[in-house]
């Protein structure tokens, strides 16, 4: 684990467009596992679940008094306005969220989001007092022609606000080709990208980058979590499908047992 910098890890589950009220029982199982304390899974990490916007308030209420944090999956750059169907960062904060994911590859691909828009959303998160979890990552085609670092560097430069701090910003490296495919880069590949991100962010943000949490995401599961979370400069995980079931998610959290 990334203990040399004494960064407290974060493991965040992104439920994506999944989950009804009946499914909150799985999140409550995670909450209860965290309450166990001692040597329980996730004892040495912050733990978050980012459900659909319809469930943020209910999950935040269920999580009161526990270690389970709640986040949103996206926000609009504006605080209010005639933007039917969108949700403001202030609304997420009002519902009980403490963070919001911005720039996920599915938002980039499905909604055509560009780095400037993602940066504006991150700035909106900061305005509302939320942590911005900014996602970056290359496609299979970009990786095949050796553009991984170039793409990630461009996304960091374009999407991370100048005023970002270790307290209000998390960066998640999610190679697009690994999301939901069962494929994962090697530990050496992850180490290379995360070292590059740390250095690039240092140039952008100065000393703040030394303590900023850098997450890995992309087919993270219980069977590979310990190896991936043990890579230098990996300060936790952004987990997709494996966060929908408490047993699977807690299996990943076991990488951070005392």
Three-class SS of residue 63? coil
**Per annotation, catalytic residue among 90, 123, 138, 174:** 174
Quote the CA–CA distance of 161 and 17 in Å, as a whole number. Answer: 27
The span from the CA of 217 to the CA of 27, in Å, is: 19
Q: What is the rounded distance in angstroms from the CA atom of residue 10 to the CA atom of residue 134? A: 13
How many whole angstroms separate alpha carbon 126 and alpha carbon 134? 12
Alpha helices (H) along the chain:
24-35, 56-62, 89-95, 105-111, 115-127, 140-144, 148-159, 187-205, 222-229, 246-253
The C-alpha atoms of residue 126 and residue 258 are separated, in whole angstroms, by 32
SS3 215: strand
Residue 66 burial by Cβ neighbours in a 10 Å radius (0-12, 13-18, 19+): middle
Q: Is 174 a catalytic residue?
A: yes
Q: What are phi and psi of 169, to 5 degrees?
A: -140, 135
Dihedral sign of CA atoms 16, 18, 20, 23 in order: negative
Cα separation, 99 vs 119, in Å, equals 15
Q: Let me know if 199 is a catalytic residue.
A: no
Of the candidates 76, 104, 126, 194, the residue annotated as catalytic is 104
239's enclosing H/E stretch is: strand 236-239
Phi then psi dihedrals of residue 20, to 5 deg: -120, 175
Which active-site residues does the annotation give? Answer: 104, 174
């Amino acid at each position: 684990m990334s203990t040399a910098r004494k960064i407290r890890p974060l493991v965040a589950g992104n439920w994506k467009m999944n989950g009804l009220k009946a499914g909150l029982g799985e999140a409550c199982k995670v909450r209860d596992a965290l309450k166990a304390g001692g040597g329980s899974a996730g004892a040495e990490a912050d733990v978050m679940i980012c459900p659909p916007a319809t469930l943020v308030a209910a999950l935040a209420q269920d999580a009161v008094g526990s270690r389970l944090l709640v986040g949103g999956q996206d926000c609009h750059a504006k605080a209010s306005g005639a933007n039917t169907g969108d949700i403001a960062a202030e609304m997420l904060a009002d519902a009980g969220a403490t963070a919001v994911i911005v720039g996920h590859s599915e938002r980039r691909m499905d909604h055509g989001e560009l780095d400037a828009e993602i940066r504006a959303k991150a700035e909106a998160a900061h305005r509302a007092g939320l942590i911005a979890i900014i996602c970056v990552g290359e496609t299979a085609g970009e990786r095949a022609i050796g553009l991984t670092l170039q793409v990630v560097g461009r996304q960091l430069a374009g999407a991370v606000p100048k005023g970002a701090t270790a307290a209000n910003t998390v960066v998640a490296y999610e190679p697009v080709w690994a999301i939901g495919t069962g494929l994962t880069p090697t530990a050496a590949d992850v180490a290379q990208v995360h070292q590059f991100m740390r250095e690039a962010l240092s140039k952008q943000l100065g000393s703040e980058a030394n303590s900023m949490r850098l997450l890995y995401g992309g087919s993270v599961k219980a069977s590979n979590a310990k190896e991936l979370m043990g890579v230098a400069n990996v300060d936790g995980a952004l987990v997709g499908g494996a966060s929908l079931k408490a047993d699977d998610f807690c299996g990943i959290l076991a990488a951070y047992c005392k």
